[in-house]
Structures are given as C-alpha cells and as structure tokens.
Amino acid sequence: MASFPSSSSSSSVVTSYVLLLLPLVAASLRYPAAATSPRKNSNGNVVGGGGQAERLIRSLNLFPKHGSNVVVLNDDESDQRLSSIDYMPAAGITEKKLSFNVTGAGGESVQDLGHYAGYYSLPRTIGARMFYFFFESRSSVNKSKAPVVIWLTGGPGCSSSLALFYENGPFHITDSLGLQWNDYGWDQASNILFVDQPTGTGFSYTTSESDIRRNETGVSNDLYDFLQEFFKGHPQFAGNDFYVAGESYAGHYIPALASRIYRGNKNNEGIHINLKGFAIGNGLTDPEIQYRAYPEFALATQLITQSDHDTLAQLVPPCQSSIKACGSKGGKACTDAYFNCEDIFNQLMNLVGSINYYDIRKQCEGSLCYDFSRVEQLLSDQSVKEAIGVKGIDFVSCSDDIHQAMIGDYMLDYELGIPELLEDGIKVLIYAGEYDLICNWLGNWNWVHAMKWSGQEQFDGASTVPFMVGSTKAGELKGYGPLHFLKVYNAGHMVPMDQPKVALEMLQSWMQGRLGAV
C-alpha cells in the first residue's frame, strides 16, 4: 500500500495508507512580467508591456502544460515503455476497491466505504482506456438509492481530480500531504464519479493517435460508452437517478453528453441511463454571447474605465461574425474564430494586469494563480501510482495536446441542444460565482435568457429571489419549470472550492426538487 504523511493540524485528518491518490491539476499561468517598465491604465491598475497581448489564454480552467498519454505501439521506445505498463486487454476492465486504514474525526470507520479506481476500455476505439474514481455515497440514509453524479472538469484536457481534491470530493489534501475529510463533499448527497477525459487527460491513455478527439461528438460518444461499461460493472446503480455536473469548458462537454444520453435512451441503446438533469458551473456554453460580456462585466466590476470598455467593444463584432462563420462552415473558420475572439480576452488581461481571472478579488501570486502542486507531488510518487494501478503511465494534469486538438470546438454553440432536453423535463441548473472573470456570471446569465424554449417568456418574467443557506443569503436564484440560474456570492470560478457549504446545499436542493422552494 502507498503510505502518505499524516497531518497533525486537524483531528479530522485522514492519515493515509490510501490506495487513493488521483489525477490532478496544473495551475494556470498568469501573464509573464514584461521586459519594459510597468504602466497603469486610467483606473490605476498595473498593466504589462506589449508582449502580454501576444499571450493566449489557452484554457478555461487550467493552463495546459503537458502532452497527452498516447502509447504508440509501433515505436521501439514506446514498445519498451509498454512493458512497464499494467496494460489492460482491449475487452477488459481494471478496477480496485480502495481501502483505508483510517478513522474519521467522529470515530466512524471508513474501511467499508465503496471507493474505487480503475480503467474501462472504450469499445468503439482502437485502444482508449478511460481512468476514473468512484465514491459511493457517505449518506447513511438510502445510500444505495442516492443519485449518481458524474463530474467533468474543463480545460479542455484537464483532469477531474482538481475538483476531487480542491472542490467537491470526499477529501482535501493537506499541506503535509495527508488527507482530510471534506465535510461538504458531494459524496454526502450522491454516488460520484470523477473521470479523466477526453482520452489523453490525467491517467487516461490510448495506444492510437486516432483516439484523440477533436469535437464533442467524439467526446460525448466516448463518455457514453464509458458510462455503459461502468453500469455493466456496477449494475446496482443503473436504475438510480443520474446527473451530469462540471465547470468551465464542461459547458461544452455537459450539454453534449446529456444529449447523447438522451438520444441513447430514446433509441434503446444499451443500458438505460436514468438522466434527470445537468448542472454547469461557470461554464463556456454559448461563446458568441459570452465573449460579448467581457467588456460589460469588466466595466461593471470597475476593472476598466468606460474608455477601455469602448475600445474592447470594438473587438466584439469581428468575434461574433467569425463565430457565425464557424457555426456554418466549420473547419478553419472555427480556428479563426478562436483566435479572433481570444483577442478580446487577451486585450482585457493586458489592461487589468496580474489579476486572477478566476477570482477578480485576488492577484496571481508568483507564476501561478493557484498552487495545486501538492497533488502533482503525490502523483509523481511511484508507490502511489502502483497502488492505484497506473504503473508506467505518466499523469497529465492538463494536456496541451488535447487542448490543441479541441481548438476547432471552442467557438461552437452548445446551448442549441438544451431546449429539447428542457421540453422533456430534464432539469438544468446554470450556476456561477460572482467574481469569476473568464466564464463570468453575466455572460452565462445572458445566454440563459436568450435561449429559445417554450418557457422562455415565463423564465424571463420570473422574479429573482435570495438563495438562502440557513439564515445566510448565499446568492440570487431565478427559475421556471426545469430551468434555474444561480449567482453565488463570494465565489470565483470554482464555486465548490470557494463556497463548499453553499455548493453542497445547492446540489442537494436541486436534485431533490426544492431549489427555490419557499
């Protein structure tokens, strides 16, 4: 078993003999220091030199810095590498039940909790193996009937273990590399899957470059096949309510996967997945509307002046035109749209300097906006990798290769598939932390209100009400029928990290149909 250092900082620290350590995270890089002296805009914010404008923000979650996990079989070096990999046969499954020689803070034993890690091979690929962690619900009430939630982190190409350890998983990782219970982990209310996807992300790997996906059709088909394999392996959960959740670029992944599940159910493909709803947190879903919101949001939050706003606003029409061309032509038009529209964000960052674009209350400290290095330290440990069955596989926290492969997907509109699901009663929750810049609440609010469905007029006319957690006003909520929008106070891009109690209450009340109930 892998042994992890214990922490003396809290009685609830889980001193780990854990077969549990997972994929994670590269933190996002801020703009590099300019070679010239810093200058200030009219609001007094320090801005960088001309070189900053050339820096593309390539990720909507974490800046990808690694390649992808592709094991090329006809290469001598890769053949040698294969001999060190716990390789899974094409039709196989590798899964381990994770065991813990630990006791929780309240004295409860965790040895019997259903925690799993493993791979499923994807049947419609040449050699893709998708890695996941699965945590059965901690709830003592009807845990076998608790909903199943799949969590998808964005990027594109970032491992979902960022969320697992820093947001809504059962544990947080301590400064001393021990594990500590997360009292607000989403396993309190659900059986939750964290999946490394698309293939090539995290510990997921393939033996063929042809398995690297370039659009949501391929991504959603792979995830659908993964879920089919998962429910074959865990049939006791196949009839449970099922929800898809995630953040950031998952604003693309989630509607595509929900539509794929919906279509599979309608066509009686394989195991019926009991899809009840999906939730997108600070996502990128409708780029044409959301990129237009950058100047508006920055002005409203006093990041820029009116003059700065007017300058940035001139970049919006070319962006919108190129997105329309992307939608009608595809191919190179979508790549052009990506670079045209990123110019808005890059110019905005050139104005606001080293601000943390995931949380405008903060500055990017050093070379990283957040420090997620603890998980990468753990995942470089060979004993940890062997314990979770990933011997010979390098962890890819955020894959530059996957990001590059998906550039043509960035500017496509994934709001278009949502109305059909709403009309059939599939619940949709769009939530956003109020201080995120990169996928800000205003852009999300705008596309949700612009979406055409039978309840659009009633949703537009619905009142915005306080979202209460206990006696605390935690946000602003608006809803009609199956559609809800929640603006979360005192949170940035990663709501479950900034407001864990609020995020858990949001999830529970939404799944139970009491979100916004008086």
Query: CA torsion angle for 237, 242, 245, 250 (degrees, to 10)?
Result: 100
Is residue 436 among the annotated active site residues?
Answer: yes
Q: How high is the pLDDT of residue 392?
A: 82
Model confidence, pTM: 0.84
Backbone phi and psi for residue 455, each to the nearest 5 degrees, phi listed first: -100, 15
The secondary structure element, H or E, covering residue 248 is strand 242-248
| pLDDT surpassing 70 at residue 51 | no
pLDDT above 70 covers a percentage of the chain that reads: 77
What is the C-alpha to C-alpha distance for residues 448 and 430, in angstroms, rounded to an integer?
8
| pLDDT surpassing 80 at residue 11 | no
pLDDT above 90 covers a percentage of the chain that reads: 63
| pLDDT surpassing 90 at residue 485 | yes
What is the C-alpha to C-alpha distance for residues 127 and 121, in angstroms, rounded to an integer?
7
Is residue 183 among the annotated active site residues?
Answer: no
Quote the DSSP letter at residue 465.
E
Query: CA torsion angle for 79, 85, 89, 92 (degrees, to 10)?
Result: -160
Average pLDDT over residues 441-451: 99
How far are the Cα atoms of 184, 271, 336, 486 from residue 149, in angstroms, in the given order?
15, 17, 35, 19
Q: How high is the pLDDT of residue 455?
A: 98
For residue range 175-219, list pLDDT tens digits in order: 887 778 999 999 999 999 999 999 999 889 989 999 899 989 999
Average pLDDT over residues 154-175: 90
| Domains of the chain by start residue, with CATH | 13-25+70-286+372-442+486-511 (3.40.50.1820)
Average pLDDT over residues 291-298: 99
Catalytic residue among 159, 220, 248, 509: 248
Q: How high is the pLDDT of residue 84?
A: 41
Catalytic residue among 187, 196, 308, 436: 436
Q: Predicted confidence band at 27 (pLDDT cuts at 50, 70, 90)?
A: very low
Per-chain mean pLDDT for the chain: 82
* Least confident window among 29-33, 228-232, 420-424, 456-460: 29-33
Q: How high is the pLDDT of residue 162?
A: 84
Average pLDDT over residues 328-333: 96
| pLDDT surpassing 50 at residue 15 | no
For the CA atoms of the chain, what is the radius of gyration? 22
Q: How high is the pLDDT of residue 398?
A: 85
| pLDDT surpassing 70 at residue 119 | yes
Sign of CA dihedral 231, 181, 516, 416: negative
Structure tokens at 97: 């039940």
What is the C-alpha to C-alpha distance for residues 188 and 383, in angstroms, rounded to an integer?
29
Most confident of the following: 35-44, 82-91, 473-482: 473-482
| pLDDT surpassing 60 at residue 367 | no
Is residue 493 among the annotated active site residues?
Answer: yes
**pLDDT top residue among 206 and 61:** 206
Catalytic residue among 66, 252, 403, 493: 493
Contact criterion met (CB below 8 Å) for 502 and 138:
no
